[in-house]
Amino acid sequence: MARLILKFGGTSVANVVRLEQVARIVKKEIDAGHQVAVVVSAMAGITNELVSFAHALCPSDVTLEHDVVLASGEQVTSGLLALALQRLGLKSRSYLSWQIPILTDASPSQAKILNIATHELETCFKENCIPVVAGFQGVTENRRVTTLGRGGSDATAVALAVALKADCCDIYTDVNGVYTADPRLVFYAQKLETITYAEMFELASQGAKVLQARSVELAMKHKVKLRVLSSFSESEGTTVVEERNKVEGTLISGIAHTQNEAKVTLIDIPDQNGMAAIVGSLFEHQICADMIVQNSLQDGKSNLTFVLQKSDLDRSVPLLEDVKKKIGFTDIIVNKEIAKISVVGIGMRSNLEIVTILFKTLAERGINVQIISTSEIRLSVVIDLKHMSEALETLHTAFNLDEKKV
């Protein structure tokens, strides 16, 4: 008997028919003799709808009331799945974060899990009852409702796996596993049997939507066995592992992309202190500037370019205008028409060949690299949005990732 955490995402629980299918998947694991706790997301589309309501009423700051609104989606699904399991003759009940409790800090819409009490859930297991835990939500010490940020149900699942010492954490999605690139954009994308935590973390951080980056980090830290599976098919999925054999010729494991970012350039900043003021001002407001590039100009001034989430843009521009008044640079140029493409692989560690292939491939297609940044196992470039698909496909081929489709 193994103890499993099964997590089902929004498309897996999108409607009553899908919920019945999820109930059958859970039953199969129970029938195989396993002990199962389930974590569910909100039905597909619901969270976006709730966000739009809250945003319409309060376009600027995010308060804990946003979290109260957003957390309701997972509540619905947890109750419905418990009903679907009861219908199959299984004992089941829903658990909301405050009932467990899943204790978090009080950061609105991006709370961090501090502790998960296991007593309630262990009691549920002892009674042969299947707990269906509402993902994404938490509760503060002061009994306020919080949410864990986008993809937060993955974090709930992994944190539960840690707390309950589960043997495996299975993340059910609408894709068969982790792919070398988004199969909707890259025809020859292929499914990976395994991927390392580190690679998965980089891909998730850089736009691969299959897993939330923070949950991968948590799984890596606690060595939680993580699998990505489809609730729509019975294929094998992808297992996230600690180490894997470097297959001949594959320096790169996958390519991620995102078009959620905008490029901001500040012109003619007078001195070095200005830089700190700018990035500091954004950081104070929890806005993260990424891929920061400074061009020193001849007259002692410099230009600063960085990338922000598009969703942070409305908040950022007034902040930058304030800094502009204080330290006096000449212009703020915003470009939303960009894409970031990231190639990721443990095989690229200290391998300069990657950079060469990447630049050569893009140059041959006349695609200009606007910014570049690297980590130990990742290389990201910002390009013009209109070249995104082409860049993905040609890089996928250039790094020998194409599946040999018959």
Dist. CA 79–CA 255, nearest whole Å: 37
Among 1, 33, 56, 318, binds a second copy (CB under 8 A): 56
Nearest distance in Å: CB 22, a second copy? 11
Binding of a second copy at residue 247 (CB under 8 A)? no
Q: Is 109 in the site for a second copy (CB under 8 A)?
A: no
The helix or strand, by DSSP H or E, that contains position 275, with its residue range, turns out to be helix 272-284
Q: Quote the least distance from Cβ 107 to a second copy, whole Å.
A: 16
Q: Which of 57, 114, 117, 288 binds a second copy (CB under 8 A)?
A: 57
Does 87 contact a second copy by CB under 8 A?
Answer: yes
Q: What is the CA radius of gyration of the chain?
A: 23
Q: Binding a second copy by CB under 8 A: which of 72, 250, 260, 335?
A: 72
Could you give the string, one character per residue 34-53, with x where binding to a second copy holds by CB under 8 A and - elsewhere? ----------------x--x
Instruction: Retrieve residue 23's tokens.
Output: 């109930």
Site stretch for a second copy (CB under 8 A), options 95-103, 225-233, 273-281, 322-330: 95-103
With binding defined as CB under 8 A, does residue 83 bind a second copy? Answer: yes
Candidates 21, 29, 79, 355; binder of a second copy (CB under 8 A) is: 79
Q: What gap in Å lies between CA 315 and CA 265, rounded to an integer?
A: 16
Considering the rule CB under 8 A, would residue 84 count as an interface residue with a second copy?
yes
The binder of a second copy chosen from 38, 96, 228, 401 (CB under 8 A): 96
- Considering only 73-81, 178-186, 247-255, 364-372, which stretch makes contact with a second copy by CB under 8 A? 73-81
Which of 29, 65, 174, 290 touches a second copy by CB under 8 A? 65
b/e burial code for range 331-341 (CB count within 10 A of at least 16 → b): eeeebeebbbb
Tokens representing 382 are: 């910002």
d(CA 343, CA 369): 14
Expressed in percent and rounded to 5, the helix, strand and coil fractions of the chain are 40, 25, 35
Which residues make Cβ contacts (< 8 Å) with residue 192, sequence separation at least 6?
177, 178, 179, 180, 238, 253, 254
Is 347 a residue that touches a second copy (CB under 8 A)?
A: no
Task: Tell me the C-alpha distance between 65 and 51, whole Å.
Answer: 11
- Residue 156 binds a second copy (CB under 8 A): no
- Judge contact between 344 and 203, C-beta under 8 A: yes
Residue (of 351, 349, 354) closest to 401 by Cα position: 354
- Please choose, out of 71-79, 190-198, 251-259, 294-302, the segment that lies near a second copy by the rule CB under 8 A: 71-79
Stretch that binds a second copy, among 94-102, 316-324, 346-354, 389-397 (CB under 8 A): 94-102
> Can residue 147 be called a binding residue for a second copy (CB under 8 A)?
no
Tell me if 129 contacts a second copy by CB under 8 A: no
SS3 assignment, position 206: coil
Q: Is 221 exposed, middle or buried (0-12, 13-18, 19+ CB in 10 A)?
A: exposed
Contact between 138 and a second copy (CB under 8 A)? no
Could you say whether residue 288 binds a second copy (CB under 8 A)? no
3, 34, 93, 225: residue in contact with a second copy (rule CB under 8 A) = 93
Please choose, out of 74-82, 122-130, 350-358, 389-397, the segment that lies near a second copy by the rule CB under 8 A: 74-82
* CB count in 10 Å sphere of residue 9: 26
Selected from 11, 41, 75, 205, the binder of a second copy by CB under 8 A is 75
CA triple 378-383-387, angle to 5 deg = 115
Q: State the minimum distance, in angstroms, from the CB of residue 131 to a second copy.
A: 12
DSSP 108-169: TTS--EEEE--HHHHHHHHTT-EEEEETTEEE-TT--EEE--TTHHHHHHHHHHHHTT-SEE
Tell me the window of 15-23, 157-165, 274-282, 355-363 that interacts with a second copy (CB under 8 A): 15-23
Please report, as ranges, the residues that interact with a second copy according to CB under 8 A.
Answer: 16, 19-20, 50, 53-54, 56-58, 63-69, 71-73, 75-76, 78-80, 82-84, 86-87, 93-94, 96, 98-99, 143-145
